[in-house]
């Protein structure tokens, strides 16, 4: 009969849940080694040698706290993006920034709109701060339902609406015009969180332009995906200066790793490395599309470093997921309809793709989707 | 007339404040270079070469997320501390863990007791989650007033009481018996946060023993100080398993840098390096004590990697702080009485101490404390 002191009302009421079980924990739980790690959209292409060198050099100085204002990185990002440093807040990954946003904008009971089957960690933070989720199913073509999201935001008086673009877990992408139209449909007291974790993989001329003084849009971006620095934990948000000022009142000021700051600043400079990654990923997407076609299923056209493969039914997708896992292939499968027909596979290196194709074809021959 | 969407009630009401202005920002604001960085209790002795090598090696793999459960590090810590992994939660430094504790235990208006002039970042988090601070002045001998803290906890029905031991910013230390006596004075619904950031510098046989199944005590520890890894951002809390389980419901699961995890695990093994740091710091404390004596002031006996020097009055301390800063020496001075008579100086390397002594003696000759 232990008696811990009382927890907060919000926290006490939360169910025991984690947004993702990491592959290391799956290995331990199942006593099985992950052979192909293609489930977390990490960049198999690694990180820029320049970023790595900067991190190694910073390791020597890691007895010093990093700059709590991430001044150098913010200055470089601002120049690159054509905005001011006052529009930028750095966090230890988008996950932390989504938590910060939820905390800054939600009172207990505040409504929040997102797609059903959208990013679980966003939902985790919303519920963790006492927000109430209103979800809108994906369209049958696996696109986010923008009209539905805007309608939900209005009808539920949501304070936040979340949209990943390019989308995770589908890989779909909305152009600047489509996002602009969506933005206009939102009530004036609703904030759009545009999660652009995969933006570097999208067609540059079709990305919704940055208007950093729009008080109703926050964009989140990261060095975890195209820059290949997931383990470094560093990302940023672009927001109206008044919003950034409010984050200053609550954020964990010394939370960003010193090596990550140095690595991110160096990664930004290595434009050629990024170009190669984006190129390599594009090639990988084509291979996965071809592989899907060859095995009688369909890949959803992707603008990210992963491809969602439509296995035709929830049962097929689950069977596929399990068959892959038995072979040590770690991928993920969304749980909500209609996405539950899909498995999501990260674009690996050419060698990883070869290995994945071999396992996948073999499984498909013994017909989990027939 | 910008109109941002509405912020949460708690956040809206917060004043614009940051717990600490980093030295990099002070340099920019004053247009002055920090020559001696002795204000943040970073370890001038650096980090273990083994930890550094482990971090450099992990840099190569930093395209992969770190293990969200920090399994390896928790396993090693548990073995070292004679507890179970279920008693441990890893965070990106004690700062993050203090935020997590405040969030887990505080409702808006919940009372919290701490020393007046205690760790500002703890206060920042308490207020950031809507808690109400009740502060108890330090005793005139610069020790935390344990009886006063326990009385305040009872009278204000505080949910949390914070005590740093060894203490920051004074360097004082309470033995196991004294902490045990304090623990017994607390009401059964009050949680003691024992911040042991500097515990490696304390006499080992006098440290309050770990009872990980005590539901009323959380201890926070870090790799930032004796282990010299402040920039890596990694620390841990030791708590009752039920409390750890509750943290699992709200913590940022993928928040800890992969290199930091590898570095911390390696640092734990390098017992000899730690011994040398503790030894070197001890020597440095003696030097600072001697320097104080020589210049007509008094050093508070310290059990940390810094020394608080009592300049005799608030005015003296401020004059000293400013005179040092003019010479590019970055130290800090607490603001609350009676601590405001002191400046707090980190133990530097022998060379840094030599430089500090030279500047300090010169200033004292031209008498800011006479």
Spatial separation of the C-alpha atoms in residues B217 and A336, rounded to whole Å: 41
Write out residues 249-268 of B within 8 Å (CB-CB) of A: 249-250, 252-260, 263
Which stretches of chain B are DSSP H helices? 9-13, 23-30, 49-60, 71-81, 94-105, 120-128, 146-155, 176-185, 241-248, 258-269, 271-294, 314-326, 350-365
Write out residues 139-168 of B within 8 Å (CB-CB) of A: 159-160
% residues pLDDT > 90 (chain B): 96
Which domains are present in chain B?
Answer: 21-46+272-365 (3.90.1150.10), 49-269 (3.40.640.10)
From A24, A45, A59, residue closest to B56, measured CB to CB: A59
Chain A residues inside the 8 Å CB shell of B7 = 104-105, 246
* pLDDT tens track for B149-167: 999 999 999 999 999 999 9
The answer to whether the beta carbons of residues A92 and A100 sit under 8 Å apart is no
Report the candidate in A137, A150, A201, A193 with the shortest Cα–Cα distance to residue A171: A201
Report the candidate in A23, A2, A41, A9 with the shortest Cα–Cα distance to residue A277: A41
* pLDDT tens track for B245-260: 999 999 999 999 999 9
* pLDDT tens track for A31-90: 999 999 999 999 999 999 999 999 999 999 999 999 999 999 999 999 999 999 999 999
Measured N-to-C along each axis, helices A258-269 and A49-60 cross at an angle, to the nearest 10 degrees, of 150
Q: Does A52 touch chain B (CB under 8 A)?
A: yes
Q: Do A230 and B65 touch (CB under 8 A)?
A: yes
Mean pLDDT for the stretch of residues B135-148: 98
Q: Return the pLDDT at A165.
A: 98
Q: Does A32 touch chain B (CB under 8 A)?
A: no
Give B368→chain A minimum CA distance, Å.
30
Give A288→chain B minimum CA distance, Å.
21
Average pLDDT in chain B: 96
| Integer angstrom CA distances of residue B126 from B119, B168, B246 | 11, 18, 18
CA B28, B29, B33, B34 torsion-angle sign: negative
Report the candidate in B218, B108, B109, B202 with the shortest Cα–Cα distance to residue B163: B218
Write out residues 274-303 of A within 8 Å (CB-CB) of B: none
Q: Which residue on chain A is closest to B122 by alpha carbon?
A: A252
Report the candidate in A41, A100, A75 with the shortest Cα–Cα distance to residue A255: A100
Tokens of B127: 């207020």
Give A330→chain B minimum CA distance, Å.
13
- In degrees rounded to 5, what are phi and psi of residue A4? -80, 155
Spatial separation of the C-alpha atoms in residues A28 and B69, rounded to whole Å: 11
Q: Return the pLDDT at B328.
A: 97
Spatial separation of the C-alpha atoms in residues A37 and A351, rounded to whole Å: 12
Other beta carbons within 10 Å of B143: 16
Chain B residues inside the 8 Å CB shell of A20 = 68, 253-254
Measured CA angle at B155 (ends B154, B159), to 5 deg: 55
Report the candidate in A126, A123, A115 with the shortest Cα–Cα distance to residue A165: A115
- In degrees rounded to 5, what are phi and psi of residue A46? 75, -160
Give the CA-trace dihedral at A108, A110, A115, A121, to 10 degrees: -30
The answer to whether the beta carbons of residues A307 and A344 sit under 8 Å apart is yes
Spatial separation of the C-alpha atoms in residues A300 and A169, rounded to whole Å: 10
CB-facing half-sphere around the CA of A183: CA atoms within 13 A: 19
* pLDDT tens track for A244-284: 999 999 999 999 999 999 999 999 999 999 999 999 999 99
Other beta carbons within 10 Å of A154: 15
Q: Return the pLDDT at A369.
A: 54
Q: Which residue on chain A is closest to B91 by alpha carbon?
A: A255
From A16, A28, A62, residue closest to B71, measured CB to CB: A28
Q: Collapse the DSSP code of A17 into the 3-class scheme (helix H, G, I; strand E, B; otherwise coil) and give the result.
A: coil
Report the candidate in A128, A107, A106, A118 with the shortest Cα–Cα distance to residue A149: A118
* pLDDT tens track for B65-96: 999 999 999 999 999 999 999 999 999 999 99
Average pLDDT in chain A: 96
From A7, A129, A230, residue closest to B246, measured CB to CB: A7
Measured N-to-C along each axis, helices A49-60 and B258-269 cross at an angle, to the nearest 10 degrees, of 40
Mean pLDDT for the stretch of residues B313-326: 97
């Amino acid at each position: 009969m232990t008696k811990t002191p009382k927890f907060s009302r919000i926290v006490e009421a939360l169910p025991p849940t984690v947004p993702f079980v990491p592959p290391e924990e799956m290995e331990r739980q199942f006593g099985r080694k992950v052979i192909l790690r293609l489930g977390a959209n990490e960049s198999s292409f690694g990180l820029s040698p320049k970023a790595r060198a900067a991190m190694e050099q910073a390791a020597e100085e890691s007895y010093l706290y990093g700059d709590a204002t991430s001044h150098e990185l913010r200055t470089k990002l601002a120049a690159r993006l054509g905005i001011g440093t006052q529009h930028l807040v750095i966090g230890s990954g988008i996950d932390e920034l989504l938590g910060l946003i939820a905390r800054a904008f939600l009172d207990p009971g505040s409504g929040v709109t997102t797609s059903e089957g959208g990013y679980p960690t966003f939902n985790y933070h919303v519920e963790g701060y006492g927000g109430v989720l209103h979800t809108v199913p994906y369209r049958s073509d696996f696109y986010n339902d923008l009209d539905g999201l805007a309608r939900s935001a209005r009808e539920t008086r949501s304070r936040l609406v979340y949209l990943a673009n390019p989308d995770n877990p589908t890989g779909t992408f909305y152009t600047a015009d489509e996002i602009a139209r969506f933005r206009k449909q939102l009530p004036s007291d609703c904030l759009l969180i545009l999660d652009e974790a995969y933006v570097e993989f999208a067609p540059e001329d079709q990305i919704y332009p940055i208007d950093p003084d729009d008080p109703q849009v926050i964009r989140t971006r990261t060095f975890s995906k195209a820059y290949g620095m997931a383990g470094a934990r560093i990302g940023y948000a672009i927001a109206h200066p008044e919003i950034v000022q409010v984050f200053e009142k609550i954020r964990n000021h010394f939370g960003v790793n010193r090596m990550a700051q140095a690595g991110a600043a160096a990664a930004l400079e290595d434009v050629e490395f990024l170009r190669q990654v984006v190129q390599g990923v594009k090639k990988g997407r084509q291979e996965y599309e071809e592989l899907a076609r060859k095995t009688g299923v369909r890949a959803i056209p992707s603008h990210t470093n992963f491809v969602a493969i439509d296995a035709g039914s929830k049962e097929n997708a689950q069977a596929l997921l399990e068959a892959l896992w038995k072979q040590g292939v770690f991928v993920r499968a969304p749980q909500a309809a209609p996405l539950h027909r899909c498995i999501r596979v990260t674009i690996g290196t050419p060698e990883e793709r070869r290995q994945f194709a071999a396992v996948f074809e073999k499984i498909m021959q013994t017909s989990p989707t027939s």
